[in-house]
Every structure is written in C-alpha cells, then in structure tokens.
A = this chain, B = another copy of it.
Amino acid sequence: MSNYFRGKKPIGIFDSGIGGLTVLKEILNVMPWEDTVYLGDTARVPYGTKSVETVTRYSFENARFLLKFDIKLLVVACNTASAYCLRQLQQELPIPVIGVIEPGARKAVEVTKTKRIGVIGTEGTIRSNAYVDAIMRIYGNGKTMIAEHGDKHFDRYFEITSGDVVIFTKACPLFVPLSEEGWTNNDVARLTVEHYLKGLKSNRIDTLILGCTHYPLLKDVIQKVMGENVALIDSGRETAADAAKCLMDRGIIGISSSKQGSHRFFVTDSPDRFKQVGSKFMTANVDNVELINVEKAE
C-alpha cells in the first residue's frame, strides 16, 4: 500500500476516560485534517489507582479494539497507561505507538533554566517514576539519588537528584474529580492546589509538568498558585507535536488544507456523561459517541 493510502487511515487514541480529550484537542489543533477514533474506557476509569498488571491488561484490550479501525498511529493519551506499558505496546503492536510521558519530559528539559523540575500526576503515574526516568534518560546521567519524604502513599513527594538536576514529584489525586466536577476555578480548587503544590513551590521549581491529561483544565489556578515565573508543561500539547512529527517522518501524514477530519468516539460506559463532561474538555460538542464492551470485543 502506498503512503498516500496509509496517510488516509485514522489516528487511534485511548484514555482511561474523558481526560484524553485534552490530547485529542491538541492533535486537532496541529492536524485538523486527520480522522480520529477515540476510545474512553469509562467503565473502568480511573487507572491511576490500579495496579500495573490491571492497567496493562486494560491497555492491550483498548489497543486491540482500536486496531480494528486500521489505525496508522496509536496515541496512549493516558499517563498511567503510558507509564506502565508503553514499551510493551510498542514492542507488540504492528504500528507506531506514542505515549504522553516522553514528550512532556523532553519539553521540560528544554525550558527549565534552574534544572529544578516538578512533576504532578495520579498516584500510579507518580509511583511509577516514569517522568523521572524519562528526564534522566534525556540528560543521560547515570548517577541518581532518590530521597523520599513524607508518607509513601498518601503524601508522596520525592526529591531526585542526578548531576545538577533535581526533580520533585507529587501525586494530586483530587485534581481529576475536581476537573470532572467542573470546579476548576473556585475556592475549593484553589485551596486544593495550594495544599498539593506547597512542597513544590517551597522547593523553587521553575518548570512544572502537568502529568495527567485532566490537569490542563486546572491550568489557570495552578499558574496563579505557582506564580507567573513557573513554566507549566502540558504533556498533551507536546504529544500532539510528537504525533505530527512521527507521521511526517514516515510520510503518512494526511495534510490537507481543505479537509476537516471526521471523529468517532467510543466509550465502555454511558455515552451521556462522556458527552456532557467531554464538551468541557474539548471546548466543543462531543457527538457521535458509541457504547462498546472491549472485554468482549475480541
């Protein structure tokens, strides 16, 4: 098959739920002509508190479902899944697979001046140390010192020193329910952000990776709490740029100045809630949502 026809195939994207729509939104900003198939595993959300084995099993079920649409690229728009099983997906699937961790880590390394980087995400993403590993790989430093503070599970907060880089990470489990509730700029949101980011702020980071696809919705209040001098890295935006580059390099990007891509959405639980909450995330209507069962999809 020629690259021309390969280029016409859709991009597949999956997330544990609704959050990945912020990634899809960025993909469409960069490549509005591309067709997409989005799968939100809303029956099994959240992934952030689940184990590596469970998240890996779910991710492969999701990927298998999307492969049936003859996708040319798979975007794992879920930080937890990217952290737990991106390598495995890349090794076992017949198409290129992109996660959200590497692009965010790369951008952070690019913009930090003081080399004091913060990472926030779900419990799973933070516990996995995936962003730390990715940053370390970029700097290519072998030496890593990990100092762990606080209660390991409920006030996780690591200080990781390698060469002259220091990384502070913090799990913020309430950010996802806050953004799904639409409380993204009220006093509860502000207070919650202050509680979680206190340690990162007092450690004077100059760059903060939003390591969960929900977090861009809280961007304004996070920026206010951290101050204007801290650069916020939206992993979703960086992932979209990476996806475009990946398709370009392979000659299978579907560039068209006239065509608007068509978009299908699949969920594993009620489409109603996905449409309603999803419209906030995409800041556009999310229609064409179909209910499926990935467990029985094979």
Contacts and interface: CB of A to CB of B under 8 A. Distances in A.
Interface of A: 42-45, 49-51, 54, 123, 153-154, 173-174, 176-178, 180-183, 186-188, 191-192, 195, 268-270, 273, 276, 295
A169 B295 CA distance: 35
A157 to B, nearest CB: 14
Contact of A270 (B51, B181, B268): B51
Interface of A is mostly: loop
A50 B40 CA distance: 13
B188 A192 contact: yes
A205 B195 CA distance: 32
Given A153-B276, A182-B154, A54 B192 contact: no
Contacts of A54: 43, 268-270
A273 B268 CA distance: 25
Nearest to A17: B49
Contacts of A42: 49-50
A180 B270 CA distance: 25
Nearest to A195: B188
Contacts of A195: 183, 186, 188
